[in-house]
Chain A
Amino acid sequence: MIKLHNIHKYFSKHHVLKGVDLTVENGEVIVILGPSGSGKSTLLRCINFLEHPSCGIIDINGMKIDSETASKKDIRALRMSTAMVFQQYNLFKNLTALQNVTLGLTSVKKIDEKKARKIAQQLLNRVGLNDRMKYYPSQLSGGQQQRVAIARALALKPDILLFDEPTSALDPELVDEVLSTIKQLANEGNTMIIVTHELGFAREVADRVILMEEGLIIEEGPVEKIFSNPVEERTRKFLGKALKRFIIEPNDIKLELGVEK
């Protein structure tokens, strides 16, 4: 179980997260939605201390880390039990697809080269890249790069997978291959938090949806409830606007939301 308690983040004087509490059960898939600048990505990055929270406690399966007392060792331990997939893939450009996946295994987990390669091959197989192992990132398409990044994240067997807008930088025709890979991981019972703008995908994959605005969670609940019957007017407005922008399955969702045509 992952528990976030009272997470605050300031960027100099700018108060980006204003006390976020969140509990994620093991095996649960959470999607965070919200307008740009609402603090979704910052929250995700606070979970593995890519942004050091200004205050708050992060508890991953009993490993409690207080942002005010966190040591370098605590942060490394935390990062080993979480993994992140980035919007810009961020693959290591000087390493092949295979080496991108094995690096964490050999350098962080100290698994020997041979075994690491085996694990990496299995993972790349799983994301459908068995014929691209020896390719460098520059030789792969965006979708392929993002799938390598997903394999890299899975390699460390993290307690939780964090996805930061994993399809936002992709060409539209490459989005599906990445989404279906993530869907597959969700079905396999991985614990995940996903920040995305793909509403259709959110609806398919999420167990629970969280709406953020101005650094706070304004509404959370099971996916069907949020999409069909949100309590908050702000949620309704956001979903309505987002649908107009992205036009994903417009008719059925619009009808459910009661948005005027």
Chain B
Amino acid sequence: MNKFIDFNFLFESIKMIIVYLPLTLQLTFISMLLGLIIGLFTALTRIYKIAVLKQLSTFYISYIRGTPLLVQLYLVYYGVPRILYIFQTQYDLFDNISVNGISPEFIATIAFAINLGAYLSETIRAAIESVDRGQFEAASSIGLSQTQIMLKIVLPQAAVAALPNIGNTLISTIKDTSLVFTITVIDIMAEAKIIGARGLGYFEVYIAVSLIYWATCMIIVKFLNLYERHLKRYERGIV
């Protein structure tokens, strides 16, 4: 091994690592979806100033944004089995699930969803508040209910406003999933470590994994741009 890069090994590594890409993507997209739901819900409690829930949301966002993702992963990894154990022994709930049988992928998805919910909540809140008040008034003045106004007028416009930020969060999440090897999930990063550890050269495997992350992100960015253009069709100027 006197070459700077062993290209053969690099290509071999890519082939082996890419097998785990679907897991990385699945983890990213499912937790993103759950995060959006949590984010929307917490954003609404703050916009409508719902007592108690609003304070809880504020606390949740502050806590998640103020602690490292890695710590949150560990907390969920060790916390979920304990909570489940308490439910089972004290309330006879969820008896069909084995405490030791919870998959680390599931734990990782939950941890990422909780983390993303907090960041997306702020994004969604800002986007909803960016829709001008006048349209809200016009919609109420023709008798639309609060829910109808939200669904038909505010959220479609807020989605457009939020998309660039949501896209950034999505890209970050793909890269952040490289932390899940710490809780025993085998994703592309974990596989790279395993191959590297076989003694054939860490440098090549890390180049391989970086190329896979990069290509994935570029493809997603491309799609996001197209989607954004589609959503923004109503912002075109005078024809």
Residues on A close to B: CB < 8 A?
48, 50, 76, 79-80, 82-84, 86, 88, 90-96, 103-104, 107-108, 135-141, 149, 152-153, 155-156
Contacts and interface: CB of A to CB of B under 8 A. Distances in A.
Contacts of A88: 134
11 contacts: A50-B140, A76-B143, A91-B138, A92-B152, A93-B157, A94-B160, A94-B234, A95-B234, A136-B234, A139-B239, A140-B238
B227 to A, nearest CB: 15
Interface string B116-154: 000000000000000010110111111111001000110
B142 A92 contact: no
B238 A139 contact: yes
Contact of A108 (B143, B236, B237, B238): B143
Contacts of A86: 134, 137-138
A251 B160 CA distance: 52
B154 to A, nearest CB: 9
Contacts of A96: 234
Contacts of B92: none
Contact of B143 (A95, A138, A149, A156): A156
Given A103-B142, A103-B152, A138-B237, 8 more contacts: A86-B137, A91-B138, A93-B157, A93-B234, A104-B142, A107-B144, A138-B236, A152-B142
A95 B149 CA distance: 13
Contact of B138 (A76, A92, A107, A139): A92
A107 B148 contact: yes
B157 A139 contact: no
A90 B235 contact: no
A5 B234 CA distance: 43
Given A90-B134, A90-B135, A92-B138, A138 B234 contact: yes
B22 interface: no
A249 B139 CA distance: 37
Contacts of A156: 142-143
B81 to A, nearest CB: 45
B79 interface: no
Secondary structure type dominating chain B contacts:
helix
A226 to B, nearest CB: 29
Contact of A50 (B137, B145, B152, B239): B137
| B138, B237, B239, most chain A CB atoms within 10 A | B138
A104 B143 contact: yes
A72 to B, nearest CB: 9
B138 A90 contact: yes
Contacts of A135: 239
Interface of B: 132, 134-135, 137-145, 148, 152-153, 156-157, 160, 233-239
Nearest to B134: A90
A83 B142 contact: yes
Contacts of A138: 234-238
Contact of A92 (B139, B140, B141): B139
Given A48-B141, A79-B140, A79-B143, A92 B135 contact: yes
Contact of B237 (A82, A84, A139, A149): A139
Given A80-B143, A139-B236, A107 B137 contact: no
A64 B236 CA distance: 45
A255 B172 CA distance: 73
Contacts of A137: 234
Contacts of B237: 138-139
A82 B160 CA distance: 32
B182 to A, nearest CB: 43
Closest 6 A-B residue pairs measured CB to CB?
A90-B138, A90-B134, A136-B234, A104-B142, A80-B143, A108-B143
A95 B160 CA distance: 13
Contacts of B153: 92, 94-95
B134 A94 contact: no
A135 B237 CA distance: 10
B38 to A, nearest CB: 25
A155 B138 CA distance: 13
Contacts of A94: 153, 156-157, 160, 234
Nearest to B156: A94
A2 to B, nearest CB: 16
A108 B239 contact: no
A92 B145 CA distance: 15
A153 B160 CA distance: 27
| B134, B143, B237, B238, most chain A CB atoms within 10 A | B143
